Structure 1
Amino acid sequence: QALADAVAPHATTVLLFGDTGTGKGMLARYLHGRSPRAGRPFVELNCAGLSRELTESELFGHERGAFTGATARKLGLLEAADGGTLFLDEIGEMELAVQAKLLKVLEQWRFRRVGGVVEHDVDVRIIAATHRDLEKDAAEGRFRMDLYYRMNVFAIRLPPLSERRDDVAALARRFLEEQRRGHRLSEEATELLLGYDWPGNVRELRNIMERAAILAPPGGEVTLAHLPPLGPRGAPESTGALGAAERALIESTLRAHDGNLAAAARALGVSRGLLYRRLAKFGIAAGADAGTEG
């Protein structure tokens, strides 16, 4: 926390290291929110699984006719983030050819759209994240050494949640507060969360609290009844009964509102986005358009 607060106000590039789900994206947003750029855009790109062409188009944009299918000019994420922060998640997966172009941006703060000849100035803070050992990758030729040193101005390592047990209760309360249903976390529920190893890290904790926010009554306590039975040594135990109860609650609410997602989300007291995620998890058909009423 102290480290993040110290670097947040500055425009320096930050490189976040940590296992999948440790909260790197959340920390990137925190750094942006505590910086002078907080009122400007926060834009993110997950580099994993993207081809060189797609990554370049997403980052730098392209001109009309730059490639087959480029029927109009497209502004890239660098321009979208101008004045704000660009978060590059899983930068270790970025292809070497794109890394070379990103290095030029970091050195000159100028870029060209794909298929363009004009160079554009950009004012953006770049925060990147990875679960890989970039120093090792650079030494073995899988990542540009010059880009690694340019990105690694300020490094923050996020340990797994199992090593940050003091953060568990505060994060759980924060995730509940995000649902805006006035929930409180019972002492017994807190003890259960503190005793779990969290192999899925912060992401797993968020998912569990989102589910609890659906099951617990608005304004009430989140108790053991609203949490999956978490084993003391790693993986959660069977969540079949609790999952069935949650699914039944969602399905009955959808039926009561004729499949209207917006109305069902209001009745459940959760955000539309959270309801969409739970529908996807249980494979429940979406039903009526979320943007219509009745």
Structure 2
Amino acid sequence: MSIHSYEELAALHAIAKILAQPDDLHDRLENILKEMSVRLGMQRGMISLLDREKKEAWLDPIMYDGEVVGVLSADKVAREVEDLDKELAMLSAVAELMAKIVHIRALEEENRRLRKIVGSGHAPSMDIIGHSKAMQEVFGLVAQVADSNTTVLITGETGTGKELVARAIHNNSSRKGGPMVQVNCAAIPDTLIESELFGHEKGAFTGALTQRRGRFEEANGGTIFLDEVGELSAAAQVKLLRVLQEKRFQPLGSSRVINVNVRIIAATNRNLEQDILSDRFRADLFYRLNVFPIYLPPLRERGSDVILLADHFLLKYSKEMGKKVKRISTAAIEVFLSHKWPGNVRELENCMERAVLMTKTDLVDCVHLPPSLQIKEREPDRKDRSKLSSVVEAQERTLIVDALTETGGNQTKAAKMLGTTKRIVQYKISKMGIDPKHFRTKNKDSN
């Protein structure tokens, strides 16, 4: 296609400038029609942006990457028959300019949709808290896979929240009205796992006094969550593979075949690929499960999420225990950020439950933390002597808080307990940002 006239080139230049402006897309498209009317005499213009599902288009299509994204049309007063090809070429040129901006608008809408999902730090309909980049990626994957029937394999260390992610996927899927059945494969003996998953007939084995439905049958129309799937016995792995392949199974002791409509979400803290090499886990089952993998990062890799979670659990257990604990001391926060959290979120939750229970004020401090955290705080890394001053300060803070708690905020008595002067105690609490008022009680002096 070639454009020869100066007027047409000027019109295309003006249209390109309009598309480059940051205005609302509707306003930009309206200005394009005005330019076509004024500069080219094309009136009664119309721009139709098509639904992605629609492919038919009369008039000149707006194409991007081989896909029809809209339709452009215009009518010229006193049209000559010989001008039709020329005008169609002009429309095509304008449509090419518009295609990219329409595509960008679609991407912006998709971006806004995903931001709405993850922007608050919470994935939709689930209790997972996190602003870290690693967790934002998890939230995005949940949003992508939720409303489908794709099998999901969630991996990560113990305590990272695999069950919560599985529930989020179910709750945001078209199956949310159906059952969500959870099976902890590690908690069921090998001799009973097949019966638990697939059911059994009366007399199928010793102790099978009645017929029993399996968990797969209970999950029909919904989702089954196989936690610790890496612990399944070899026989159970074979049956699970058949369910994945054929969507049917046989209960123990029965020739009856049961068809099921179930979405499978599995989770494990094991390295299944390593287990395949040692013949502990079937390779064909792994590839059936690993269609859409989601990896949950350990808490030590989530940065400031530790503090977000600590605050969340502080409020949760304060409410449950009827207490008014509102704050975590700076020293305790430093301990949280330096701790490796081998038990991940579960360990942090247990830690905060204990701390809220232990404190007698509105403050959680180092003294209220479990001994394992306090030991790590008080024993500096010998390879890093520069941390000694911060450890000493944290220890001083703990001793001062203990003394103020014991004396109801009385600084004179606290100084005597610590074997120092009131002036030094006042200096220390001022430097550390400790408020003695929080330790006062009605029955004790606070002079």
Alpha-carbon separation, structure 1, partners of 2:185 and 2:377:
29
Instruction: Look up the match of 1:255.
Output: none
**1:108 corresponds to 2:250:** no
| Paired position in structure 2 for 1:256 | none
Q: In structure 2, what residue type is equivalent to 1:198?
A: W
- Give the distance between the partners of 1:48 and 1:172, measured in 2 at CA: 29
Matched with 2:369 is 227
Q: Tell me the secondary structure at the aligned position of residue 159 of structure 2.
A: coil
Asked if 1:205 is matched to 2:205, the reply is: no
The residue aligned with 2:306 is 168
Letter in 1 for 2:150: T
CA distance in 1, matches of 2:326, 2:161: 22
Stretch moving more, 48-57 or 139-148:
48-57
Does structure 2 conserve the Cα–Cα contact (< 8 Å) formed by 1:22 and 1:159?
yes
- Structure 1 CA distance for aligned equivalents of residues 214 and 203 of structure 2: 15
When residues 134 and 69 of structure 1 are mapped into structure 2, their CA distance, relative to the original with a 3 A threshold, is same
Partner residue of 1:193? Answer: 336
Partner amino acid for 2:265?
I
Q: Partners of 2:325 and 2:249 in 1: how far apart? A: 47
Instruction: Tell me, in whole angstroms, the C-alpha distance in 2 between the residues paired with 1:183 and 1:124.
Output: 44
Q: 1:37 to 1:185 in 2, by over 3 A?
A: farther
The structure-2 alpha-carbon separation of the partners of 1:38 and 1:136, relative to structure 1 and needing over 3 Å to count, comes to: same
Identity %: 50
Q: What does residue range 56-95 of structure 1 map to in structure 2 within 5 Å?
A: 56-95=194-233
Alignment: residue pair count: 235
TM-superposition CA deviations, 1:76-119 (whole Å, max 9, x none)? 11122222221111111111111010011111111121112211
Distance 1:173 1:80, change over 3 A: farther
CA change 1:231–1:216 in 2 (3 A) is: closer
* Higher helix fraction (1 or 2): 2
RMSD of equivalent CA atoms: 2.8
> 2:298, 2:344 within 8 Å by CA — same for their partners in 1?
yes
The one-letter amino acid of 1:107's match is: Q
- Structure 1 residue 232: Cα displacement: 8.4
State whether structure 2 residue 172 is matched by structure 1 residue 34.
yes
Q: Which residue of 1 aligns with 2:30?
A: none
Q: Give the structure-1-normalised TM-score.
A: 0.70
Query: Which of 1 and 2 has higher RCO (CA within 8 Å, sep 6+)?
Result: 1
1:44 aligns with 2:182: yes
Structure 1 unaligned residues grouped into runs of 5+: 237-294
Q: Supply the AA of the counterpart residue of 1:70.
A: A
For 2:328, the aligned partner's letter is: S
Q: Supply the distance in 2 between the matched residues of 1:33 and 1:132 (Cα, whole angstroms).
A: 26
Is the partner of 2:176 in helix, strand or coil? coil
Give 1:99's aligned residue.
Answer: 237
CA deviation digits over 1:219-278, x for unaligned, max 9?
x84522643362485999xxxxxxxxxxxxxxxxxxxxxxxxxxxxxxxxxxxxxxxxxx
TM superposition shift of 1:169: 2.6
> Mind listing any 5+ residue stretches in structure 2 that lack a counterpart?
1-138, 380-447
Listed one character per residue, the Cα deviations across residues 29-66 of structure 1 (whole Å, up to 9, x for unaligned) are 22222222233322222222644330001101111111
Cα distance change, pair 83–227 in 1 and its aligned pair in 2 (3 A): farther
